[in-house]
Amino acid sequence: MRLPRRVPWSSLAELEQLCSAIYTDEHDIDSKIYAINKISAWRAITTLPHALESTLSILVAVVHDRKSICMSALFLRQSYATAILRLVNGLVDPLQVGTYARSITSIAQQLGLPNWLVELRHAATHEDLPSLDLLREGGKQCLAWLLHNYFLPIINPVLNPQQIATPLRPLSPMLKLYKNTIKTITRDVSLASQYKPKLVAILRDLERWISEARVAANISSGELGWSNGYSAEPTKTEEEADVKEIWALERFCDALADKGMLVPLSKKKRNINQEAFLPSKLSISFWTPLLEHVHAIHPDFYSILCRRLTALLLDCNSSPTDAQASKRDLSFEEYIACWVNWTVKSPNENSMDMKRDVLTVLVKGLRYEASSLSDKSPIVKLVHHISTGEPDFERMANLLLKPFTQNFHTTWESYDLEVMKERVYALQSSQTTPTDNPSVVATQDNSSPQISLSGWSTLQNNQWKECPIGIFREITV
């Protein structure tokens, strides 16, 4: 559960007043000084969000520049450069997730930060300090970006939509490149050392894609990295961080489930091991390095892969129309089921939990429809192979696949009405006559039952007295 966010302003009107002081008149120095004093007062009582810290740094540089205080041009250049550098680093560093580092430019593009600000930050850090005119323009661009990405979305959350992330790079070309490379290595082992650097580079690129997807999930939730180490907001819990990682891994698993990836594009190549109900040895040899690599970095990957593939099986099996049934690719469904079976049987500490999760998802998704599936159905085969050898899972499988035998009367018989009359009479008599149940005793006027359980009794209207919740008031009867 996400805790309420702590902010320095008492109301949105106060924040809107600050925003007006900063942006209404570019040449109004007094309003800029008012904004500096306001933010400084907030900083004296609480830690500021990174956006306000950056705004304060830029405003101080602007005021010093506009008031023509006796100071060197080098001092102004350093003030502007420091403010821009803090803004960019404070945005990018919290989103630098994943095993392999990503370039600042790629993260900034996802945030919608102008590329030339990243270049300006790089020049101010590693090269000759940029000119004062260039830094002044950079300060204006930073304030404009903060207005559209921080102040306006908070002041008008309805009118300002969520930050839209840059679309993710297509994953399919990277997976195809991996597949072609691993095919070459598998067919000719002597080329393994030659292609190893290329394979390592592909695996790193795929891991960077997962990191980009996590950043995209971060942006779509309205989090632009304001709170990581720079704000008064509570630190994100591991559970909240995992939600974004799960979202990224789910997108990755969906791409793996496309035809031509885990499942060969040609139906002739979908030769499964019927006895063990596993994909072909060739497919396993192709994809095991990638799957194990991702699982080593993300321990929950196999569990997420199982859930996504099982959900795909349920979607394929969901009450298709006649036209859809004719287009069903049963060999594709069977191959997906084989990969689920391979995943749950892969050597890892969560194997039993994954089996239970798969069976639970199937039970919830199929319900009584499972009894109508044939023995050749990929889902039925998967259930049998997962549950074999595990008594608890076998009972669950039998419950799932048990034929639905309840019969319903289509016509009324004469005795049906007699049974209903007897039940109505029994219900009415239980409300008007004393019962043998010791927990309920009839009152003197037979109007309502009196509860004789220890500590409980019924009250008449004149005996009821109001009192606050949590206060015991003894009532004498």
- For the stretch 192-204, pLDDT in tens is 889 899 999 999 8
CB 153 within 8 A of CB 160: yes
Residue 406: both structure tokens together: 């309840």
Q: What is the per-residue pLDDT across 44-86, written as a single tens digit (0 to 9) for each?
A: 888 888 888 889 999 988 888 887 665 678 888 888 889 988 8
Higher pLDDT, 243 or 339: 339
pLDDT value of residue 335: 92
Q: Which amino acid is at 140?
A: K
Element (H, E) at 254: helix 238-256
Written as one string, the DSSP assignment of 327-367 is T--HHHHHHHHHHHHHHHTSSSTTHHHHHHHHHHHHHHHHG
pLDDT of 457 strictly over 70: no
Phi, psi of 412 (to 5 degrees): -85, 135
HEC states along 389-443?
CCHHHHHHHHHHHCCCCCCCCCCCCHHHHHHHHHHHHHHHHHHHCCCCCCCEEEC
Element (H, E) at 269: none
* Interatomic CA distance for residues 125 and 85, integer angstroms: 8
Q: Is 446 exposed, middle or buried, given 0-12, 13-18 or 19+ CB atoms closer than 10 A?
A: exposed
45 Cα distance to chain centroid: 34
Locus of tokens 């960077």 = 208
Average model confidence (pLDDT) for the chain? 77
Locus of tokens 């798969």 = 358
Q: Which amino acid is at 202?
A: I
* Interatomic CA distance for residues 123 and 106, integer angstroms: 17
pLDDT value of residue 338: 92
For residue 149, give the DSSP letter.
I
pLDDT value of residue 396: 73
CB 212 within 8 A of CB 174: no
CB 35 within 8 A of CB 20: no
pTM, to two decimals: 0.61
CB 107 within 8 A of CB 92: yes
CA angle 109, 111, 113 (to 5 degrees): 65
* Interatomic CA distance for residues 50 and 13, integer angstroms: 20
Q: What is the per-residue pLDDT across 145-197, written as a single tens digit (0 to 9) for each?
A: 888 888 888 887 765 444 455 577 888 999 999 999 999 998 888 888 898 99
**Beta partners for residue 451, in sequence order:** 440
